[in-house]
């Protein structure tokens, strides 16, 4: 028996709408391929957004919790870019635990555990920074993703060194202080710690925020020296890759 034109059209319509999970799966696969091809570009703009949000949120008198949400999202995006499935999964689990401890009320998890999460989160971010640097310098041909990876590593280091400075200021009050401050050491806001971190990383040395303990000074020296070495080595690598090879 021959089918009518209406039956044929309705059959095509049913087939087109019969497998929405399959279309969703295919869409997610395509999205995953696009992200994999541009993952360090996504990370760079995420970090740039977080860096721009820090002074804006402070100027609008938002609580530091909102800035920590931006940093948590940046951390999760950063560990997604780590090469190696096993290492990536371990870092994602650790980053999720860190974010959970920071989101939970301090009265529930305790001040020591919450502060410890800041240190662990900073270490995870620095591991992600190392992975980005490795990606940027491991190939002979330099493309846009290598450039984004190199830029992301610098921003990631500056942001999460700032978190580390903030954690030290919380653990040891008075480690960081504004120049000319007297009396009981006041707590340093997270946005100020990030600002101090980039001033240190770029060796600007404004002097409006100063380290006052050996731990804070040692970390400042490590960040300043590391930042200068990174710029020197990265520029040499990127420029050298573009020079013609001698016979």
| In the chain, alpha helices (H) | 5-16, 20-37, 39-59, 64-80, 85-103, 106-109, 111-137, 144-171, 190-201, 214-242
Domain range for 55 is 39-242
CB 149 within 8 A of CB 39: no
What is the CB neighbour count within 10 angstroms for residue 31? Answer: 10
Question: How many domains is the chain partitioned into structurally?
Answer: 1
Residue 13 resides in a domain? no
Chain segment 141-178, per-residue pLDDT in tens? 778 888 888 899 999 999 989 999 998 998 888 899 88
Chain segment 18-55, per-residue pLDDT in tens? 567 777 777 766 766 777 778 888 889 999 998 888 88
> pTM, whole model, 2 decimals?
0.80
Phi-psi region at 102: left, alpha or beta (left = phi > 0; alpha = psi -120 to 50): alpha
Phi-psi region at 61: left, alpha or beta (left = phi > 0; alpha = psi -120 to 50): left
State the CATH number of the domain containing residue 84: 1.10.287.70
- Two tokens, residue 3: 């089918």
Strand partners, 178: 209
């Amino acid at each position: 028996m021959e089918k009518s034109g209406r039956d044929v059209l309705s059959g095509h319509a049913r087939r087109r709408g019969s497998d929405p999970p399959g279309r969703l799966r295919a869409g997610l696969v395509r999205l995953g391929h696009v992200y994999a091809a541009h993952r360090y570009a996504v990370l760079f703009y995420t970090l740039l957004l977080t860096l721009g949000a820090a002074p804006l949120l402070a100027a609008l008198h938002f609580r530091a919790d909102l800035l920590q949400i931006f940093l948590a999202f940046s951390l999760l995006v950063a560990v997604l870019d780590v090469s190696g499935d096993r290492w990536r999964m371990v870092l994602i689990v650790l980053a999720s635990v860190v974010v959970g401890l920071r989101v939970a009320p301090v009265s529930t998890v305790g001040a020591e555990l919450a502060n410890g999460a800041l240190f662990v989160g900073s270490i995870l971010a620095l591991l992600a920074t190392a992975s980005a640097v490795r990606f940027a310098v491991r190939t002979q041909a330099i493309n846009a993703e290598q450039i984004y990876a190199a830029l992301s590593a610098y921003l990631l280091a500056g942001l999460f060194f700032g978190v580390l400075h903030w954690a030290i200021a919380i653990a040891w009050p008075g480690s960081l202080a504004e120049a000319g401050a007297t009396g009981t050491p006041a707590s340093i806001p997270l946005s100020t710690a990030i600002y101090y971190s980039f001033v240190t990383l770029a060796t600007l040395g404004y002097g409006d925020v100063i380290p006052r303990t050996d731990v804070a000074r040692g970390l400042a020296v490590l960040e300043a020296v590391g930042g200068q070495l990174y710029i020197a080595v990265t520029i040499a690598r990127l420029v050298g890759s573009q020079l013609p090879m001698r016979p």
